[in-house]
């Protein structure tokens, strides 16, 4: 069974879990009716199933290559990209002024999830363009918007972001790339960037690089960074790609997975660029793109998890081995208790992660439509949780997929291993998951925990409403939220950030489990009786949610015993 986009799952979550109807009640998204969204999901599903999914194996077996300075992409990726562009999917949430659809970002997030499950290596390309589009919409001059946005939205040109340098890594403030004014409003950009996803391709007319660099005499650290648009081919007076800029792909990385996505080392040698946003305001502008990308990466993890689960379920329903005493069983390994446990874990984790990601996307839509600070804060708080948990689930589910296959999972021809190799990097993209967790317990709690408490109050209220029909599940969810509240109060009270950072990852994971169990409970309520969603909800709440207790015990230990372990201790 090939990959099939779970369009009905998105519709269910939109209708019953994340409250997409709130966006339709705003003037900004009033045209995004239920019928329109259903039709969009169906069309995106067909594209994912019929066009993109058949390319996934090609990307793994026929990696992108660099030949005499020219990037050659995997077989069929040109046609797949053309289908994405021609369908308008790159600019689905972009401004209609420049050719976009103006759809809610939550709908685009669902589409990105499907495309990631179909072919993650190719989907990365339009995802980067979407992030660049948003950054330009918010920060670029009118001239840059008019020139670049229509081309990026149509897919004629593609976009990248260039942050990381060989000596800087995640410490963006340490970057050394220079931007020197040319005296005509442009700048000469010089420096090297590494890990640039889709740094070049052979199927778009132009590649538009957003590059972080320092102006002369700029302040050290992130305060002295500016953002520049540096195209591969400099547009002429008619806006057509003209002469080649002085930049090049030095090499492509030899990666564990995602072989179809060319990850480049880029060299900029006095390349002509145009400033985007204010001088020394590069981080603000780039974070617009990065926050978009963090949710995009979250659903990359979830999409691959979906594909890995579908493949594992198909195998488990076909593979006969051993005997089980399951009444009415079909005699295949799906009847074995441990295989059933793995499959239930996979499916229920995907639902939880997807619900968190789409809750975050709806909050982004509502913040954009209403300008309400509480929606903005909700979106900001959920973003690191969605990114880290979504990608952790991608890794865990794809690993379980290999395990369900047994020995055949370790044989490349089955394709199960590719999911695990491809998705692994998503926990590193756009700030490692450890950085996401540190951001959650530090920057996102500068409000004294208010955003967290509002989410916990919502969980507890919904759990109270569900007590009559599902008393055991509702009590477990309510109690878990209360325990999480107490841990949050403890975190907020810590003045030494290392006391927060020591338990940041366990805290984020615990919050995801509690919010995910809340989504599972709401799914059972929506189903209205004993059925597959209720049975999976009960599995998640009874078997996976209890992990939150151990995680929060870790959180409240603070830094003491952890930081007492010296480097010498680790080496002994």
Q: Show pLDDT as tens, one digit a residue, over the chain (572 residues).
A: 589 999 999 999 999 999 999 999 999 999 999 999 999 999 999 999 999 999 999 999 999 999 998 999 999 999 999 999 999 999 999 999 999 999 999 999 999 999 999 999 999 999 999 999 999 999 999 999 999 999 999 999 999 999 889 877 667 777 889 999 999 999 999 999 999 999 999 999 999 999 999 999 898 888 899 999 999 999 999 999 999 999 999 999 999 999 999 999 999 999 999 999 999 998 888 777 777 789 999 999 999 999 999 999 999 999 988 887 777 777 899 999 999 999 999 999 999 999 999 999 999 999 999 999 999 999 999 999 999 999 999 999 999 999 999 999 999 999 999 999 999 999 999 889 999 999 999 999 999 999 999 999 999 999 999 999 999 999 999 999 999 999 999 999 999 999 999 999 999 999 999 999 999 999 999 999 899 999 999 999 999 999 999 999 999 999 999 999 999 999 98
- pLDDT for the residue numbered 2: 86
Which of the following CATH numbers is that of domain 158-284: 3.40.50.300, 3.10.20.600, 3.60.9.10, 2.40.110.20?
2.40.110.20
Residue (of 87, 128, 106, 119) closest to 26 by Cα position: 106
Handedness of CA 557, 558, 562, 563 (dihedral sign): negative
Q: pTM (2 decimals)?
A: 0.96
Calpha distance 22→317 (Å, rounded): 40
User: Catalytic residue positions?
Assistant: 430
Helix, strand, or coil (residue 461): helix
- HSE toward the beta carbon, residue 81, CA cutoff 13 A: 29
Residue (of 571, 166, 149, 116) closest to 350 by Cα position: 116
Render pLDDT for 556-567 as a digit per residue (tens, 0 to 9). Answer: 999 999 999 999
Buried b (16+ CB within 10 A) or exposed e, 341-361: ebbbbbbbbbbbbbbbbbbbb
Calpha distance 537→557 (Å, rounded): 31
Helix, strand, or coil (residue 394): helix
Beta-carbon contacts of 546 under 8 Å, excluding residues fewer than 6 positions away, are none
Calpha distance 381→519 (Å, rounded): 17
The tokens of 381 are what?
A: 């708080």
Bridge partners of residue 305, in order along the sequence = none
C-beta of residue 397 within 8 angstroms of C-beta of residue 305: yes
- pLDDT for the residue numbered 369: 96
Size of the chain in residues: 572
C-beta of residue 106 within 8 angstroms of C-beta of residue 15: no
The tokens of 368 are what?
A: 């954009």
Q: What's domain 289-562's architecture?
A: Up-down Bundle (1.20)
Calpha distance 467→474 (Å, rounded): 5
Residue boundaries of the structural domains of the chain: 7-152, 158-284, 289-562
Helix, strand, or coil (residue 544): helix
Instruction: Give me the residue label for tokens 């972009």.
Output: 94
Burial environment of residue 216 by CB neighbours within 10 A (0 to 12, 13 to 18, 19 or more): exposed
Q: Which helix (H) or strand (E) holds 266?
A: strand 263-276
Q: What's domain 7-152's architecture?
A: Orthogonal Bundle (1.10)
Question: Where do runs of H (alpha helix) occur along 371-449?
Answer: 373-405, 416-423, 433-441
The tokens of 194 are what?
A: 């590494």
Phi, psi of 472 (to 5 degrees): -70, -50
Q: Do domains 7-152 and 158-284 have the same CATH topology?
A: no
Beta-carbon contacts of 107 under 8 Å, excluding residues fewer than 6 positions away, are 32, 37, 40, 41, 92, 93
C-beta of residue 419 within 8 angstroms of C-beta of residue 59: no
- pLDDT for the residue numbered 418: 97
């Amino acid at each position: 069974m090939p990959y099939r986009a779970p369009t009905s799952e998105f519709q269910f979550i939109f209708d019953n879990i994340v409250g997409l109807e709130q966006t339709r009640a705003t003037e900004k998204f009033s045209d995004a009716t239920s019928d329109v969204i259903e039709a969009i999901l169906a069309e995106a599903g067909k594209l994912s199933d019929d066009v993109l999914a058949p390319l996934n194996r090609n990307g793994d077996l026929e990696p992108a290559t660099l030949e005499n300075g020219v990037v050659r992409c995997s077989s069929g990726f040109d046609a797949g990209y053309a289908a994405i562009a021609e369908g308008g999917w790159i600019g689905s949430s972009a401004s209609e002024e420049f050719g976009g659809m103006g759809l809610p970002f939550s709908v685009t997030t669902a589409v990105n999830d499907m495309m990631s499950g179909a072919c993650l290596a190719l989907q990365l390309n339009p995802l980067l363009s979407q992030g660049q589009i948003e950054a330009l919409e918010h920060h670029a001059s009118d001239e840059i918007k008019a020139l670049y946005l229509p081309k990026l939205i149509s897919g004629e040109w593609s976009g990248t972001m260039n942050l990381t340098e060989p000596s800087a890594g995640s410490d963006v403030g340490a970057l050394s790339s220079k931007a020197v004014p040319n005296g005509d409003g442009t700048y000469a950009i010089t420096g090297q960037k590494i890990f640039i996803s889709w740094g070049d391709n052979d199927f778009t007319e132009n590649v538009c690089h957003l590059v972080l660099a320092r102006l002369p005499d700029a302040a050290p650290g992130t305060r002295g960074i500016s953002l520049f648009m540096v195209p591969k081919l400099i547009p002429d007076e008619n806006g057509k790609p003209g002469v080649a800029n002085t930049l090049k792909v030095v090499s492509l990385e030899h990666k564990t997975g995602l072989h179809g996505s060319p990850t480049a080392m880029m060299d900029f040698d006095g390349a002509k660029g145009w400033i985007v946003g204010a001088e020394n305001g590069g981080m603000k502008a780039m974070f617009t793109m990065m926050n978009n990308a963090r949710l995009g990466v979250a659903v990359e993890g979830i999409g691959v998890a979906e594909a890995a689960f579908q493949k594992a379920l198909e195998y488990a329903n076909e593979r006969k081995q051993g005997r089980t005493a399951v009444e009415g069983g079909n005699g295949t390994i799906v009847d074995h208790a441990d295989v059933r446990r793995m499959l239930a874990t996979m499916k229920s984790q995907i639902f939880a992660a997807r619900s968190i990601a789409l809750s975050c996307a709806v909050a982004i839509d509502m913040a954009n439509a209403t300008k309400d600070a509480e929606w903005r804060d909700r979106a900001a708080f959920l973003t690191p949780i969605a990114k880290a948990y979504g990608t952790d689930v991608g890794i865990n589910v794809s690993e379980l997929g290999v395990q369900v296959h047994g020995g055949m999972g370790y044989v490349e021809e089955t394709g199960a291993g590719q999911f695990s190799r491809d998705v692994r990097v998503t926990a590193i993209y756009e700030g490692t998951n450890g950085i996401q967790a540190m951001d959650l317990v530090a920057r996102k709690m500068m409000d004294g925990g208010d955003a967290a408490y509002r989410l916990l109050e919502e969980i507890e209220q919904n759990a109270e409403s569900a007590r009559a029909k599902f008393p055991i599940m509702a009590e477990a969810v309510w109690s878990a939220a209360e325990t999480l509240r107490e841990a949050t109060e403890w975190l907020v009270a810590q003045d030494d950030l290392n006391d927060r950072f020591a338990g940041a990852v366990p805290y984020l994971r615990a919050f995801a489990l509690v919010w995910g169990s809340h989504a599972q409970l709401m799914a059972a309520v929506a189903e209205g009786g004993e059925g597959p969603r209720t049975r999976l909800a009960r599995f998640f709440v009874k078997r996976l949610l209890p992990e939150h207790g151990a995680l929060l015990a870790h959180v409240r230990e603070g830094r003491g015993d952890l930081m007492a372990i010296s480097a010498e201790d680790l080496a002994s």
